[in-house]
Amino acid sequence: MFAMPPPTNSPPSEVQAELQRLREENDMLRSLVRDAPVAFVALDLQRRVQLWNHAAERIFGWREEEVIGKPLPHVPAASEQSSHELYRRAVAGDSVRDIELERMTKAGHEVRVSLSTSPLRDITNNIIGMVGVYDDIDDCTAPEIPFRGLVEQSLVGLYIIQDGMFQYVNPRWAAMFGYTQQEMAPRLVADFIAPQDRATVVGNLDRRISGEITSIFYPFKGLHKDGRLVDIEVQGTRFQYRGRPAVIGVGLDVTEARLREEQIERSQARLRELSQHLLTVREEQRGKIARELHDVLGGTLTALKMDIGWLKKHTTEARLAARADTMMELVRDAIDTVRKISAELRPGVLDNLGLLDAIEWETGRFRERMGIDCKLTLRAAPVEIEEAAAIAIFRIFQEALTNIARHAEATRVEIDAGQVDGVLLVTVQDNGKGIDLQAVSNRKSYGLTGMAERARQFGANLEISGAPGGGTRVLLRYPLPATAERQRGEGQ
């Protein structure tokens, strides 16, 4: 293991003296390595043992003559891959310091050791193998046993990273990736990260090791041993480990939580689609019934009114004429009722004239019906809006007025509606007793919930605000797709 220098052209006496000095130094080095309190193990390029000192015999149990020229005997099967990784890094020229790992004794017992590795070079500086220095840390970890027990039994993953490698992982962290502790540490962190997140994870490690940041929380996709991806969330902090910067952190496997969230989101999306479908079907039915009432029943009542008028005109008997007048009043009331019901179901002004005219019409009806002072401001700019969204916004406006009539005890309502910078704004402000903000978020407030759901389905934003004694304001914002598209076209 200790190379001799090549011969020189010096006089024989000087050469002999130099050779003697080198022999003495070589013997001293051999003695130091042989009797060192830490284990020295050297491997050649075929990973065969070339050096196995007394400390290695004491820690692992094999005598020197049992291992020289043979593969390492003390590496557990589960740690073979990480052992190969350490060897590969060493013969590539890298050094690793103070990695805690488990090895096996000849008697079959596990022993916890600290390992440092470096390339083994010859006199011409060529790499000819690897040298590892082992320190038995079981004897010096007695004070850490309670802490280690907590860490090993923790329900969250715990890890230490240094030199881009896992120096320590607890059982929970290893299990999150489908490995054992021995299979995972020491190994490169990047080996366990999905390719799309590898740069992010390595970059975050470098930022902490360099001192740019101290701590960071972030999610990433991990690679499970069986090949699937796992969702991991980690919180890691920079600290000093064995005198050098490292990262210690905790992690959670949130794969199942993410799956549940996705299932809930899909379920909510299906419910929203169903809700929108039901609203659409209901509006279609309302429109159909309104047309039937107006065209069929309304037409029948109008024809009956004409017939009664004809009878009254062609009778000379006073009693029949009086009865005709009574019937005429009943028919007129029925026609008015049909018109009101038809308008409630689907106001014709909404279909024929548009949303802003429908809002003006509904405001007038509300003023007449409730006797509340209403100030209406309509902006003159035309509003181009699809039918389904117009119906939804009109129903929200109707519900806002209905809530005022039922709950507000207001004497004045201010309504503002129109287009501002490509956004349809509808504001309904009353001077009533105000609204309890808890009622806005209460799922049992079905009227408010329905308003919010209608707004959300068509991409509108609805704000309901107020305070006891300060009135209530309903503000709806709806981006107008046609206007926005036109504005983009004009800007090109």
Model confidence pLDDT, tens digit, residues 166-191 = 988 999 999 999 999 888 888 899 99
Q: Which of 1-5, 247-251, 300-304 has the highest mean pLDDT?
A: 247-251
pLDDT class for 375, splitting at 50, 70, 90? very high
Average pLDDT, whole number, for the chain? 83
Structure tokens at 302: 């109008």
pLDDT of 148: 66
Q: Is the pLDDT of residue 487 over 50?
A: no
Q: What is the mean pLDDT of residues 376-397?
A: 82
Residue type, 281: V
pLDDT tens-digit readout, 414-430: 999 998 888 999 999 99
pLDDT tens-digit readout, 336-373: 888 778 777 767 777 777 888 889 988 998 999 899 99
pLDDT of 228: 94
Ranking 4-8, 121-125, 141-145, 487-491 by mean pLDDT, the lowest is: 141-145
pLDDT tens-digit readout, 74-115: 999 888 888 898 899 999 998 888 888 889 999 888 888 888
418, 356 Cβ separation under 8 angstroms: yes
pTM: 0.47
Identify the CA nearest to 52 among candidates 148, 108, 132, 125: 132
When comparing pLDDT for 135 and 376, which is higher? 376
Residue whose pair of structure tokens reads 């806005």 in the numeric block = 440
pLDDT of 142: 39
Share of the chain above pLDDT 90, in %: 30
Q: Residues 92, 97, 102, 106: is their CA dihedral positive or negative?
A: positive
pLDDT of 440: 57
pLDDT of 457: 81
Q: Is the pLDDT of residue 486 over 50?
A: no
174, 77 Cβ separation under 8 angstroms: no
Rounded Cα–Cα distance for residues 386 and 477 (Å): 15
Rounded Cα–Cα distance for residues 267 and 259 (Å): 12
pLDDT tens-digit readout, 11-30: 567 767 777 776 776 666 67
Q: Which residues pair with 115 in a beta bridge?
A: 99, 134
Identify the CA nearest to 46 among candidates 134, 130, 133: 130
Ranking 26-35, 170-179, 465-474 by mean pLDDT, the lowest is: 26-35
Q: In 10 A of CB 446, how many CB atoms?
A: 10
Rounded Cα–Cα distance for residues 277 and 283 (Å): 10
pLDDT of 401: 92
Q: Is the pLDDT of residue 301 over 80?
A: yes
pLDDT of 490: 47
For helices 255-291 and 446-457, what crossing angle results, to 10°?
100
Percentages (nearest 5) of helix, strand, coil residues in the chain = 50, 25, 25
pLDDT class for 68, splitting at 50, 70, 90? very high
pLDDT tens-digit readout, 104-145: 999 888 888 888 898 988 878 899 999 998 888 765 443 444
Q: Is the pLDDT of residue 411 over 50?
A: yes
Rounded Cα–Cα distance for residues 426 and 401 (Å): 12
pLDDT of 223: 95
Rounded Cα–Cα distance for residues 263 and 269 (Å): 10
